[in-house]
Each structure stands twice: as structure tokens, then as C-alpha cells.
Amino acid sequence: MKIPFVTFLPMERELDSEIRSAFDRVFTQSWYIDGVEDKAFDKAFAEYCHADYCVGVGNGLDALMLSLKALGVKEGDEVIVPSNTYIATALAVTYVGATPVFVEPDIRTFNIDPKRIEAAITEKTKAIIPVHLYGQACDMDPIMAVARKHHLWVVEDCAQAHGATYKGQKVGTFGDAAGFSFYPGKNLGALGDAGAVVTNNKDLADMVRALGNYGSDYKYHHIYKGNNSRLDELQAALLLAKLPHLDRMNAERRRVAGIFTSEIKNDKVILPVVLPDCVPVWHIYGIRCKERDALEKHLNAKGIGTNKHYPTPMHLQECYRDLNIPEGALPIAEEISRTELSIPLFYGMTDEEIRYIVDAINEF
Ligand SMILES: *Cc1c(COP(=O)(O)O)cnc(C)c1O
């Protein structure tokens, strides 16, 4: 059997006519930037998150970067980010001129360990970016408590967690702002690049919108040295078509993950842990194994696609050599990078495929 790591085909087949009619609607309107679709999506996604405002932007990296910029984070500042995340989280900090400070995760959940945050705070710290990694919310109560105590902004990175909840509350509504990505492979994906900032702060929403539109509050009037990062009409319309299906598709991912969690039984394999307060949306199902590369070879040989999130931690990437963080300095992130293996989990997996993956892992 051949099972790709990810495929959008089952979802796209199911939503084919809705996606095509969204395209036709925009093409008929013949209006591509800053129009009714963007407005409608912003309203719908804010409602979905139970937040007051949503501002569509060009991608998830810009959503984080523009949030930090609007909050006044700048050169000389420090921002706490998890040591285990996709590099966009750290790059958003770098792009506003600030320095990312890495805090280790809880190896069971892969998410930032709230107990380790306070030790990383200095007089330069301005913000924390908790990343709801692989679709599971961070432990937000202690994170918000330490942020409030030290007067730090909180920008949630929700790129992998659309619809995930913590104590019944959707991610994206705990901090001062949240960045979402609608990269095609995310739980809610566009057919290209797209992202959004979600916030309950009107001034912040207005500023993010202006910053992503050449710093303009109205046409040819520029109050900031902004840049160009807008959610275009086509992507907004496509996202509007997919949004009503998100909860159902997330629930299906949870069903598949539930089978993995109860059926995978192999002493060499460590399964991801879900905190009791969290309902994850399983962007990624990441298992750990000391013999990770051998397990990957075994699964690939059986036709099962796999991935690693992430093979090299950020502090050991060439682009961050200037931070001078040596190998061994962030042992938990390094351990995850050596042992994590992501197995296929996408909407529309068949029971036969799920069974085949479980059996292949159990016989390793
Ligand atoms: C995908 C992702 C981003 C960046 O989103 P883009 O839309 O690709 O810019 C940021 N943070 C995390 C954790 C991501 O997974």
C-alpha cells in the first residue's frame, strides 16, 4: 500500500464544487485585493475564534511579524519563543529587529514548558510567543500568569492549531494577538499563501491592517512605514468556502489520532501526550523513537510517507549562528529533533490506511 505523508485530494474532491464556485464568484466580481471576500472572511474567522477582530494578511510569518511590530517590539528587545518550533516563529522576532530567546519544551507535549519561562526573562524581554505546536494548545494559564506578572505581551502562534481549545477556549484568544497561517498544508489551508492576525484589541487590529497595507489608513495617506502583506480576494473566498468544514475535518483528525493513540503498541515508540485541559486538532501526529531513522526507513519501505518536525532545531541553523548558542545548550529541543517522526494524518484517511500504519509501527 502507498500512503503519502499528506494529501489534500479527499478533502478537495469533497469540496470541489464549493471551491470552484468561490473561484468563479471572485472571477466574476473581477476585484482581487481589499474587497468583499476579505471583509467577509475576517468577520467569519473572528467569529469562528470567538475573537473581536481578524485581519487577513499575506502569510503566517507576516501575521506574527506585524503583530510584534504593532505591539512596539523593536531592536534591542528580547522575545521568548519555544526552542522547538518551525523557524518562522523566531524569524518574526528577527524581522522586527529583536532577539529570539529560546525556552525548552515539555518533551511529552512538545510545547513550551511554562515553568522554564521566568528564568529566561530579562529587563529587555518584551513578549512571549507560545506556539500551539502540532495542533495542541500550550498550557496557557501559567503562561499568561508569568506574562502579566512581568508585563509582557503575548502573541500566540496558532499556525498549526486552528480550532484547538484549552479549557474550552479557542486558541488565538488568550494573548494580546495571535498569528494564523493558511499555508495549504495547515488545518485550514488556502490554495496558496495566506495568514491572519486575530485580536480583541481594536487599535492593534487597525494598526496591523495599516502596516500590511503600506502603512496606509486610507488611500494615499501613510501613517506608518508599512509593507505589503494582504489577504487577497481569491484566497479569502477559498478560505470562506472551507471554513464551515473545519470543525468536522478537525474532528475526523481527532478520530484518526485516537486510533493511533490506542492501537500503537511498541515499547520502542513514545506517543504524544495530550494535557487534560486540551482538545487538540492534530496538525501533526508526532511519535518519538530512539531508532527514529531506522523506523522511518521501515515505514518508507512499506510505502508510508513520513516527515520530521523538525530535523534541525533553530539554534543550530546556519542563519542563527550569530546567536552563538552551542550544540547541547538546548538538549530537549535537540532530543526532539533526533527522535521525532511524524506519521501520516490527513482528512480522508481510510480505515484500511490507518490500520496499515498502526500495524507497520507495531511490527518495528
Ligand atoms: C507554518 C508556520 C508558520 C508560518 O506560516 P506561513 O504561512 O508559512 O508563513 C509559523 N509558525 C508555525 C509554527 C508554522 O507551522
Cβ count within 10 A of residue 113: 20
- Chain mean pLDDT for the chain: 98
Q: Which residue has the cell 512605514?
A: 225
Determine the Cα–Cα distance for residues 229 and 56; give it in Å rounded to an integer: 9
Query: What is the pLDDT at residue 265?
Result: 98
Residue 54's DSSP bridge partners are: 198
* Rounded mean pLDDT, 46-68: 98
The per-residue b/e assignment along 31-59, b for 16 or more CB within 10 angstroms, e otherwise, is eeebbebbeebbebbbebbebebbbbbbb
C-alpha cell at 3: 500512503
Q: How does pLDDT run across 268-317, given as a tens digit for each residue? A: 999 999 999 999 999 999 999 999 999 999 999 999 999 999 999 999 99
Cβ count within 10 A of residue 89: 26
C-alpha cell at 270: 513514545
Query: What is the pLDDT at residue 233?
Result: 98
Concatenating the DSSP letter of every residue in 59-121 gives -HHHHHHHHHHHTT--TT-EEEEESSS-THHHHHHHHTT-EEEEEPBPTTT-SB-GGGTGGG-
Ligand 1 neighbours (beta carbon < 6 A): 59-61, 85-86, 88-89, 131, 157, 159-160, 181, 183, 193, 195
Query: What is the pLDDT at residue 181?
Result: 98
Determine which residue's CA is closest to atom 1 belonging to ligand 1.
159
329 confidence band (pLDDT: 50, 70, 90): very high
For residue 92, the ligand 1 atom closest to its alpha carbon is 10
Query: What is the pLDDT at residue 309?
Result: 97
Q: How does pLDDT run across 220-262, given as a tens digit for each residue? A: 999 999 999 999 999 999 999 999 999 999 999 999 999 999 9
Rounded to the nearest angstrom, the gap between the alpha carbon of residue 314 and the centroid of all alpha carbons in its chain is 16
> What percentage of the chain exceeds 70 in pLDDT?
100
Q: Say which residues have a Cβ less than 8 Å from residue 136's Cβ, sequence separation at least 6.
A: 109, 110, 111, 161, 164, 272, 274, 275, 278, 280
259 Cα: distance to centroid of ligand 1 (angstroms): 27
* Rounded mean pLDDT, 158-183: 98
Query: What is the pLDDT at residue 357?
Result: 98
63 confidence band (pLDDT: 50, 70, 90): very high
Determine the Cα–Cα distance for residues 119 and 211; give it in Å rounded to an integer: 33
